[in-house]
Amino acid sequence: MRRFKAVVVGGTGYGGAEMIRRLLIHPEVELVRVVAIDHVGEPLGAVHPPLTGRSDLRFEDLPPAEAARGCDIALLGLPHRVSALHAPGILSAGVKVVDMSGDFRLRDATAYARYYGAAHPHPEALGTFVYGLPELNRDAIRTADAVASPGCFATAIELGLLPLARGGQLEIGCVVHVVGMTGSSGSGVAPSAGTHHPVRSVNLKTYKVLEHQHTPEILETMTSAGARSLQLRFVPVSAPLSRGILATSFVELPAETEAGAIAELYADAYDGEPFVRFVRDRLPEVAAVAGGNYAEVGFTLGPAAGATRTLAVVSALDNLIKGGAGQAIQNMNLMLGLPETASLEDPGPWP
């Protein structure tokens, strides 16, 4: 049986490391090339120590379209505004693409310019990539040539809200308030004031309050799921973690809403999903999912207060795996007709 061939473009970051790691243990996909503009000529283990001795590959500096030639699929770990320059050329060479940047997640060029700080270089391509949330778009991903893997915060929040959107609980005019905490690896491999350990390790700090770039992505996704006019108030928090996201979404529901009915929505949505756990006996936590491609979702329904009662939905995942590279591999598996769980089934460590 022929093994599929894959190239990773942008392999020296944290997301690139996770994609490489998962591909090196993949039973049906061979990693044939890793492209980067730094550490050129160095072995993979020189940049990602856990990969020492696992491969003879070295980082190569090649034009992405040339690097992808002869491959079945290219996984892009490039920064925002860089993927947009290279993905069309790779696709024109007949190679499937999974992009981890935000360059092809949105359909609205105006929203892209606002949240990513520049006009999109290929606005005609917006809307041509399938949004890579398998729990929503699995069938479309299977037949896609180009998939935009979701952002880490977006994945966590969307998984928390998706059953409510499908169940008609996010009515027109509904406002959802979200507080999401994230680990430092979400800021990327380049050191910055926000990820400097002496400050990060003893601190909690908000950033991009009500203006995070995953906001329009979440709104577009919820519209696709049935929440047509949802409003989102999102406050991200920089947490003293290396990995992990914990998001709490607050939704006001009618006072007569029963916890059993909400639980049924989540059970229907996730009991058959390979990587989403609806937890009933506790609430989700980062330590239960860090290091693996699994997400946890749970909720608490508060007492009635007048005409409403508050639903607090908690979701947790590893920002680099289910919120990043692991989900990219999950999408790759679907696109190539492989078992969706291939190279992703290992649970994370505890603690």
Tens of pLDDT, residue by residue over 212-236, are 999 999 999 999 999 988 999 999 9
More confident residue, 2 or 47: 47
350 domain-assigned: no
Who's near 118: CB < 8 A, 6+ residues apart? 81
Total domains in the fold of the chain: 2
| Dist CA 266 CA 257 (whole Å) | 14
User: Is residue 142 scored above 80 in pLDDT?
Assistant: yes
pLDDT of residue 193: 83
Q: What's the DSSP call for residue 248?
A: E
Distance CA 24, CA 26 (A): 6
Answer yes or no: do 258 and 193 share one domain. Answer: yes
- Rounded distance between C-alpha atoms, residue 194 and residue 74, angstroms: 31
Model confidence band, residue 194 (pLDDT cutoffs 50, 70, 90): confident
Residue 161 and residue 48 in one domain: no
Average confidence score pLDDT of the chain: 96
Q: What is the pLDDT at residue 195? A: 83
| pLDDT tens profile 305-336 | 999 999 999 999 999 999 999 999 999 999 99
Predicted confidence at residue 191, as pLDDT, reads: 82
65 and 146 in a single domain? The answer is yes
Please identify which of the residues 29, 106, 152, 241 carries the catalytic annotation.
Answer: 152
pLDDT band (50, 70, 90) for residue 240: very high
Average pLDDT over residues 150-164: 98
Same domain, 163 and 62: no
Question: Model confidence over 70-86: pLDDT tens digits?
Answer: 999 999 999 999 999 99
80-114 residue pLDDT tens: 999 999 999 999 999 999 999 999 999 999 999 99
Residue 186, pLDDT above cutoff 80: yes
Residue 160 sits in the same domain as residue 131: no
Task: Please report the pLDDT score of residue 172 as a whole number.
Answer: 79
Domain assignment present for residue 92? The answer is: yes
At 311 the three-state DSSP class reads strand
Assigned domain for 309 exists: yes
Could you tell me the pLDDT band of residue 1, with boundaries at 50, 70 and 90? low
Same domain (yes/no): 222, 278? yes
Q: How confident is residue 185, by pLDDT bands cut at 50, 70 and 90? A: very high
User: Active-site residue 71, yes or no?
Assistant: no
Q: Quick check: is 261 in a domain? A: yes
Q: Is the pLDDT of residue 298 over 80?
A: yes
Strand intervals (E) in the chain: 4-9, 29-35, 59-60, 73-76, 96-99, 130-131, 146-148, 175-182, 205-206, 231-238, 245-254, 276-278, 295-305, 308-317
Quick one: pLDDT band at residue 192, thresholds 50, 70, 90?
A: confident
> Does one domain contain both 106 and 41?
yes
Whether residue 67 is contained in a domain is answered as: yes
Which CATH number characterizes residue 91's domain?
A: 3.40.50.720
pLDDT recorded at residue 187: 87
Domain of 331 in residue numbering reads as 4-150+324-335
pLDDT at 241 over 90: yes
CATH code where residue 264 lies: 3.30.360.10
Looking at the fold, whether 177 and 75 belong to one and the same domain comes out as: no
Same domain, 182 and 104: no
Report yes or no on 138 lying in a domain: yes
285 and 331 part of one domain: no
pLDDT at 183: 95
Average pLDDT rounded to a whole number, residues 47-70 = 97
Q: Is the pLDDT of residue 173 over 90?
A: no
Q: Is residue 127 included in any domain, yes or no?
A: yes
Same domain, 285 and 191: yes
pLDDT tens column, 247-285: 999 999 999 999 999 999 999 999 999 999 999 999 999
* Assigned token pair, 292: 């693996």
pLDDT at 2 over 80: no
Predicted structure pTM score: 0.97
First-to-last alpha carbon distance for the chain, in angstroms, is 39
Query: Same domain for 146 and 179?
Result: no
Is residue 23 in a domain? Answer: yes
